[in-house]
């Protein structure tokens, strides 16, 4: 039987693109020629979409699962963190035979357009509780990834930001750095009316609490923007212009760290000789940066895999909600100075 990978090979695109074309994802930005090539390859191979099946009273029931994204396409491209989670969801659905028939993005979402026949919904990102409750009135089963709006009601997959941030800071402190700056961003929560409510990122909170306790917190060396390379560059430039650049920085995402590296390079400030850097995520660009990044490794694709498995368990009858905390690792490369 033909698979999505077979179609991808014949049409010369990725399996994820094939899945989204076959599922008529309106948010997918590809040419009409590419869409046609995928559809023709599927027809030639006599591809039939598969769905995970469960047995209830000896009858087979097909699952219909939607993916709800709290990020724009531009945000996914500028910070691969959430893109990788979504790819984990899609690959696990493909592996299990689940057809992801609907993909929604909060930016152009209308509640009236939600397919109420879906068996479940996987939400990637942060939604206001009012929006969560509105969705729950339409669809019974949810899994939230990278957010846990109510552990007593909904399945969720998260990471331990406190433990991960402490590990990164301990590494810098153990190397002897006394002055540590922070570059990061606020988190946004989507509310009704597609408005944003911003709040302090957990990494910033842990950074502030830990260094304050040690008497090492310097408020002037904390810079907050958006999770993009552009803002990483801009905020590091701000620190350099301000003067008294700290010995080390904890930066809340790899894309921001790559931007910060560029700003330092332009000013002739060497990493790690003059300034050490530890960042967060371990996306692919981290090991290929101008100075390979020491970073917290988040298993983003695995988070997506686990989210799908939790939803399937719910659909198969599990009643108790579960909150799964996926462990992180710490990857030491050149940017922290440990390898000098």
SS3 of the chain: CCCHHHHHHHHCCCHHHHHHHHCCCCCCCCCHHHHHHHHHHHHHCCCCCCCCEEEECCEEEECEEEEEECCCHHHHHHCHHHHHHHHHHHHHHHHHCCEEEEEEEHHHCCHHHCCCCCCEEEEECCECHHHHHHHHHHCCEEEEECCCCCCCCCEEEEECHHHHHHHHHHHHHHCCCCCEEEEEECEEEECHHHCEEEECCHHHHHHHHHHHHCCCCCHHHEEEECCCHHHHHHHHHHHHHHCCCCCEEEECCHHHHHHHHHHHHHCCCCCCCCCEEEEEECCHHHHHCCCCCEEEECCHHHHHHHHHHHHHHHHCCCCCCCEEEECCEEECCHHHCCCC
What is the value of pTM for the model shown? 0.79
Average pLDDT on 184-209 reads: 82
CATH 3.40.50.2300 domain extents, the chain: 54-159+300-326, 161-298+329-336
CATH of domain 54-159+300-326: 3.40.50.2300
Position 248 confidence tier, pLDDT thresholds 50, 70, 90: very high
CATH 1.10.260.40 in the chain, residue ranges: 1-43
Is the predicted pLDDT of residue 154 greater than 90, yes or no? yes
When the pLDDT of each residue in the chain is averaged and rounded to a whole number, the result is 88
Model confidence at 60: pLDDT above 60:
no
Asked if 331 and 257 touch (Cβ cutoff 8 Å), the reply is no
Span 1-43 CATH architecture:
Orthogonal Bundle (1.10)
pLDDT for position 190: 62
* pLDDT score of 50 more than 50: no
Mean pLDDT of 33-50: 75
Q: What is the pLDDT of residue 281?
A: 96
State the CATH architecture for 161-298+329-336. 3-Layer(aba) Sandwich (3.40)
Higher-scoring residue by pLDDT: 178, 112: 178
């Amino acid at each position: 039987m033909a698979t999505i990978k077979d179609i991808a090979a014949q049409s010369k695109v990725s399996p994820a693109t094939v899945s989204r074309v076959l599922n008529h994802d309106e948010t997918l930005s590809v040419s009409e020629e590419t869409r046609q090539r995928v559809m023709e390859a599927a027809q030639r191979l006599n591809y039939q979409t598969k769905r995970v099946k469960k047995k209830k009273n000896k009858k087979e029931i097909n699952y219909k699962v939607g993916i709800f994204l709290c990020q724009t396409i531009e945000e996914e491209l500028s910070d691969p963190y959430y893109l990788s989670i979504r790819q984990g969801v899609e690959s696990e659905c493909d592996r299990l035979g689940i057809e992801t028939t609907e993909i929604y993005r909060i930016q152009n979402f209308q509640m009236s357009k939600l397919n109420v026949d879906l068996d479940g919904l996987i939400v990637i990102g942060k939604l206001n509780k009012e929006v969560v409750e509105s969705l729950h009135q339409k669809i019974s089963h949810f899994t939230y990834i990278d957010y846990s709006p109510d552990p007593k009601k909904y399945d969720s997959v998260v990471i331990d930001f406190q433990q991960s941030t402490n590990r990164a800071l301990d590494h810098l402190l153990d190397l002897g750095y006394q002055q540590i700056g922070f570059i990061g961003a606020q988190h946004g929560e989507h509310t009704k009316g597609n408005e944003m409510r911003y709040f302090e990122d957990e990494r910033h909170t842990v950074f502030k609490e830990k260094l304050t306790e040690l008497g090492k917190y310097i408020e002037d060396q904390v810079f907050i923007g958006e999770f993009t390379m552009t803002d990483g560059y801009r905020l590091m430039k701000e620190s350099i212009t301000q003067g008294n650049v700290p010995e080390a920085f904890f930066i809340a995402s790899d894309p921001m760290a790559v931007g910060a590296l560029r700003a330092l390079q332009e000013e002739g400030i060497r990493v790690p000789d003059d300034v050490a850097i530890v960042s967060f995520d371990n996306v692919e660009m981290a090991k290929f940066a101008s100075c390979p990044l020491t970073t917290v490794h988040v298993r983003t694709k695995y988070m997506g895999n686990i989210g799908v498995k939790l939803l399937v368990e719910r659909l198969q009858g599990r009643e108790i909600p579960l909150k799964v905390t996926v462990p992180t690792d710490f990857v030491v490369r050149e940017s922290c100075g440990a390898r000098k």
